[in-house]
């Protein structure tokens, strides 16, 4: 089955700085989700990408799916304390989502 690798596993960033999180798949992606999770809580839907080269933005967060549809990146511009949490990428596999292990983002004031 599909496997997703996220990098980095953990990230500490000064408030106001930009950052990028990567998600690499072992197979072609037919749907790629990005979610955010606060510690101990449910997942918040950020965006879903389906087409090669697709790019979507939500407030200061931009996600891209590469042309080959095997890699996605999530970029946060001018990070804020509210961006702290766990970012999860997930691959759509015939309706269900296969998740990566997540990237833990800490924002330093």
Partner 1 sequence: DTGVSQDPRHKITKRGQNVTFRCDPISEHNRLYWYRQTLGQGPEFLTYFQNEAQLEKSRLLSDRFSAERPKGSFSTLEIQRTEQGDSAMYLCASSPGRRSSYEQYFGPGTRLTVT
Q: How are beta strands 4-7 and 61-65 bridged, if at all? A: unpaired
- 62 close to 54: Cβ distance less than 8 angstroms: no
If you count them, how many residues does the chain have?
109
Nearer to partner 1, 15 or 41 (CB): 41
Give the other-Cβ count within 10 Å of 42's Cβ. Answer: 7
Spell out, one character per residue from 74 to 93, where the chain touches partner 1: x when CB under 8 A holds, - when not.
--------------x-x-x-
Does 11 contact partner 1 by CB under 8 A? no
Binding residues for partner 1 (CB under 8 A): 4, 31, 33, 35, 40-45, 48, 88, 90, 92, 94-102
């Amino acid at each position: 089955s599909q496997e997703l690798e996220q990098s980095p596993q953990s990230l500490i960033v000064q408030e106001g700085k930009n950052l990028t999180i990567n998600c690499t798949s072992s197979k072609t992606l037919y749907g790629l989700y990005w979610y955010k999770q606060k510690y101990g809580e449910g997942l918040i839907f950020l965006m879903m990408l389906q087409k090669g080269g697709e790019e979507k933005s939500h407030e200061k967060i931009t996600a891209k799916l590469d042309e080959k549809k095997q890699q996605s990146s999530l970029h946060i511009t001018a990070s804020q304390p509210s961006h702290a949490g766990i970012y999860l990428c997930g691959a759509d596999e015939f309706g269900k989502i296969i998740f990566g292990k997540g990237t833990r983002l800490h924002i330093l004031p």
